[in-house]
């Protein structure tokens, strides 16, 4: 994109360019309904305490109205950058580098990647907690919550947060915030995971609190083969072709 196009002020009045684009997209679907966005649920939260950062998340993964996974891990470790030079940079300002990379990646797709992230860490400049939006926007805060249950969780955080929290206080606060999101949102649920990040290292507690609601089925369901009628059956053989093959010798030293 030329620099003149970027710096050019937007034209006055309404712009109907997207109307032409939408009409072209409707033709691709043959007059049918366009895909509808699917709601995904979660509750994640973070708190900066005296010696570091505490992150928390529920473990329910949903696909529309279906619970796809009850033990989904939503807290992930960002690996150290590979080369020596980047490794030195990451040791000095690893949180800032990760934040910049996330922001640039999401901004490149202008919201087409539906990712709402919480980034937390500790480096030589202190304890950091950031929110990263799907458009690449970033914001540094002492506490925050995101996801479909964020309003209920944020109410707990705003009521109980105070500067220089002790470790146990921060863990219980994050746990209470996630639990509030679970009880107020159908897309959030099951166990609560906690991750404590300090200068000494990372303590990933999974699960920190197990769900109080267990699935105890009193009836065992047994169906004989052929109970469900097979309407159609189609077997498609796969044609596999080796495009490239390499042999690497294992280092035994």
State the Cα–Cα distance between residues 108 and 111, nearest whole angstrom.
8
Active site residue 232: no
Q: How many residues does the chain have?
A: 253
160: which residues sit within 8 A by CB, 6+ positions away? 173, 176
Please give the C-alpha separations between residue 25 and each of 16, 35, 74, 109, 178, in angstroms, as whole numbers.
15, 11, 34, 19, 40
Catalytically annotated residue among 34, 40, 42, 232: 42
Torsion angles phi and psi, residue 72, rounded to 5: -75, 130
Alpha-carbon distance of 177 to 105, in angstroms, equals 29
CA distances from 34 to 9, 55, 134, 237 (A): 33, 37, 22, 32
Cα distances from 150 to residues 52, 81, 112, 170, 190, in angstroms, run 22, 32, 22, 17, 16
Cα–Cα distance measured from residue 207 to residue 193, given in angstroms and rounded to the nearest whole number: 5
Q: Cite the active site residues.
A: 42
């Amino acid at each position: 994109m030329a620099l003149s196009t970027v710096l050019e002020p937007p034209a006055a009045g309404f712009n109907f360019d997207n109307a032409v684009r939408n009409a072209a997209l409707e033709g691709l679907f043959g007059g049918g309904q366009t895909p509808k966005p699917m709601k995904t649920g979660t509750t994640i939260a973070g708190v900066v305490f005296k010696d570091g950062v505490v992150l928390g998340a529920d473990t329910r993964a949903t696909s529309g109205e279906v619970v796809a996974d009850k033990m989904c891990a939503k807290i992930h470790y960002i690996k150290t950058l590979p080369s020596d030079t980047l490794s030195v940079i990451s040791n000095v300002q690893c949180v800032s580098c990760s934040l910049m990379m996330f922001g640039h990646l999401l901004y490149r797709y202008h919201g087409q990647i539906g990712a709402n992230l919480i980034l937390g860490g500790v480096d030589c400049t202190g304890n950091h907690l950031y929110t990263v939006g799907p458009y690449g926007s970033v914001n540094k805060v002492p506490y925050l919550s995101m996801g479909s249950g964020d309003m209920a969780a944020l109410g707990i955080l705003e009521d109980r947060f105070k500067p220089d929290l002790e470790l146990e206080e921060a863990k219980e606060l994050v746990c209470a915030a996630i639990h509030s999101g679970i009880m107020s949102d159908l897309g959030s649920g099951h166990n609560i995971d906690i991750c404590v990040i300090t200068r000494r290292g990372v303590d990933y507690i999974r699960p920190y609190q197990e769900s109080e609601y267990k699935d105890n089925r009193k009836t065992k369901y047994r169906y004989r083969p052929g109970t469900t009628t097979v309407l159609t059956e189609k077997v498609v053989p796969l044609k596999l072709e080796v495009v490239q093959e390499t042999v690497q010798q294992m280092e035994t030293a």
